[in-house]
Amino acid sequence: MTIIHLQPEEPTHEEWLRSRGYSLLPCPCGDDDQLHEDVATRRLILKSRELGLWATPSLPVLEGDEEPSPLCDRTLEHTCNDSVLFATHGNGPNQELVCIKYMPASSMGLRYGMILDAPHLRVDPRNHAVPVFEMFPNYDGTMAYTVLPFLQSVELTQLRSTEQILDFVSQLLQGLEFMHEQGVAHGNISLHHIMLLPIEPSSSKYVFIDYSQSSFVRSENRPTTLANATTAGRDCINNIDSFFSLKRDILMLGRVFQEARKLSRSLRFLDGIISSMVHQEPRCRPSAAAAFEQLQHEWDCVLKHRDTW
């Protein structure tokens, strides 16, 4: 007699999420005919079309790269897929729209995200890592669902005043400074990996997303370690790796600021900061803390100049 062991059928996303209190939604970028019948949920879906849908752009080829990295070909279309789910949580007036990322439970991106969203770090106003509402495994523990808040894509053209652009630059510099202080380099900063988290009708917070290319670094690095690379051993090599990871972040964020700078001639006070951040020589780029300090100084000068008008 042959005994056949039947494997339990894998539950669908909808079944598994329902067991956790989430109602899976149809693709929010689909046709209107596919939208949910419930009026409140329909409005949430329509609102979610403002999302950038977690696109991963081609990575730039940076100085020192002899040939394009394989990562340069890694792109995701601006469409819904099995790794990005949309759902509602709660009922009635308390119902909220959430994004749920579905990825391998062993993903390092999950690890970095959870580290930066630890309870004792979450309360720091300089922390601009995307908040994590909840994380739970799939039926066999090989995959994980990470529940994130509703986020809006950042459109630079919506920054209509000098003060709004200054807020954009300030928040991101502080966020990067905080991230580096925690010993994490993002590794893939771009406008597609910066999202807007609505807090109040008149207040929003810019957050970094996607830590798939992140790495642990030493928060304090000095370019002098480069001169000792041949004699200081592995510890020095680790310092060098950390140094370049941090400076690469500065370069990538500087390139984002370059695009914002094009919006107005009144942003000339940003020129010196941006120029130093995108400097060809990594050792000439400032730390995030130094760049933020320079930004404050430049803005103070602008305000003093205005007062003399």
pLDDT tens-digit readout, 20-36 = 999 887 655 545 444 45
Q: Is the pLDDT of residue 289 over 90?
A: yes
Please indicate whether residue 164 or residue 234 has the higher confidence score (pLDDT): 164
pLDDT tier, 199 (very low <50, low <70, confident <90, very high otherwise): confident
Given this model, what pLDDT does residue 257 score?
97
Q: Tell me the pLDDT tens digit for each residue of 160-194.
A: 889 999 999 999 999 999 999 999 999 999 999 99
Class of 13-49+82-150 in CATH: alpha beta
- Give the start-to-end residue ranges of the domains of the chain: 13-49+82-150, 153-307
Given this model, what pLDDT does residue 233 score?
43
Q: Is the pLDDT of residue 295 over 70?
A: yes
Q: Is the pLDDT of residue 204 over 80?
A: yes
pLDDT tier, 223 (very low <50, low <70, confident <90, very high otherwise): very low
Q: What percent of the chain has pLDDT over 90?
A: 44
Q: Tell me the pLDDT tens digit for each residue of 70-97.
A: 322 222 233 344 477 888 888 777 788 8
Q: What mean pLDDT, rounded, does the chain reach?
A: 77
Give mean pLDDT, residues 216-225: 57
Q: Is the pLDDT of residue 65 over 60?
A: no
Given this model, what pLDDT does residue 38 score?
53
Q: Among the CATH numbers 1.10.510.10, 3.40.50.970, 1.10.1200.10, 3.40.190.10, which is that of 153-307?
A: 1.10.510.10
Report pTM.
Answer: 0.75
Given this model, what pLDDT does residue 260 score?
94
Q: Is the pLDDT of residue 215 over 70?
A: yes
Given this model, what pLDDT does residue 28 score?
52
Give mean pLDDT, residues 39-56: 46
Given this model, what pLDDT does residue 87 score?
86
Given this model, what pLDDT does residue 76 score?
26
Given this model, what pLDDT does residue 14 score?
84
Q: Is the pLDDT of residue 148 over 90?
A: yes
Q: Is the pLDDT of residue 205 over 50?
A: yes
| The two structure tokens encoding residue 54 | 């977690």
Given this model, what pLDDT does residue 299 score?
92
